[in-house]
Amino acid sequence: MSDKKGRNLEIYFMAAVIVILFSSAVMNYVEMSEHPNAVATDAPTPPAGSYVIHVVATQWEWTFIYPNNTTSAGAFSVPVNREITLIVTSMPSEQGPGVIHDLYIPQMDVQVYAVPGQNNSVTFEPTHTGSYYFECVEYCGEYHYEMRGYMEVVAQ
């Protein structure tokens, strides 16, 4: 490979890399604007018409508070084809103080930190009924791995 040929090849290669990166950045921007995730709010104002569930993480359990103020621990259910908003925070329990957790529902593309002293909200819309697993993916102490369960998506 001559010097000049190598230099040209380097330029083409870098140009290709930059084009790929640029298109990824644009796609990233478009996707992000459509699906903002994990937004921190002090006093959350969920979108009107959304089915709002308050989620409280403690060591080591998820508690879900439905719009009608009933609660469920370790598992929850949501209606299908309806916009759902989760407002997530972390609280102390008899096991210990509020620490950072992270609620992750893989099949819904939903991931949001539960931070003590902060409310994070996330919105999604399930389109199929069924049962979906969720888990805590921010290390939160001894029984971190047990903070997992199933979300049931049920017909309205």
Partner 1 sequence: MSAYVTTLTIDGAIVAIVSIIIFALYLVLNSRKDLISKMANAEGYDSEGQFVRDYVAGKPRELGLSIFVNDDAKSLGMRYIVTSLFFFFIAGAFGLTMRLSLTSPNPSLLTPDEYNVLLTEHATLMIYMWAVGSALGFGYYLLPSHLKVFRDIRGVFSSIGYWLWLLGGALILVSHSSVRWYFYPPLSLQLNQNGGGLYAWLSVLGIEILFVGLIITSITILFIILFDRSPEVKRNQFTLFTWSIIFTIIMILVSSPPIMVGFALLFYDYFNPIFFTAASHSVLLFTILFWFWGHPIVYIAIIPYFGLIYEIIPKFTGKQIFSYKSGVIGLGLLLILSELVWGHHLFNSGLGFAWVLFFSTTSFLVVIPSAITIFNYIASLWSAERIRITTPMLFVINGIIDFIIGGVVGVMQSAFPVNADVHGTYVITGHFHFIFLGITTGISFAAFYMLFPTLSGGRKYDVKLARLHFYFTAAGSMLMSSAWLLGGFLGMPRATAGYFPFFQPYQLASIAGGFIIGIGQIFFLWNMGKSWLKAPSVDNQNCLEQVNVISTEMTGGAQ
Give the C-alpha distances (Å, rounded to integers) separating 107 from 5, 110, 133, 151.
48, 8, 8, 11
Q: Is residue 144 involved in binding Cu ion (CB under 5 A)?
A: yes
The letter for the amino acid at 20 is: I
Comparing CB distances to Cu ion, the nearer of 62 and 87 is 62
**Residues 83-142, interacting with partner 1 (CB under 8 A):** 90, 92, 95-100, 102, 104, 106-107, 109-113, 115-118, 120, 133, 135-142
| Distance, CA of 54 to CA of 132 (rounded, Å) | 18
For Cu ion, the binding residue among 101, 115, 126, 134 (CB under 5 A) is: 101
Residue (90 or 123) nearer to Cu ion, CB:
90
Token pair of 145, please? 């791995």
Report the site for partner 1 in 25-84 (rule: CB under 8 A).
25, 27-29, 31-33, 35-40, 59
Here the tokens at position 108 are 């819904």
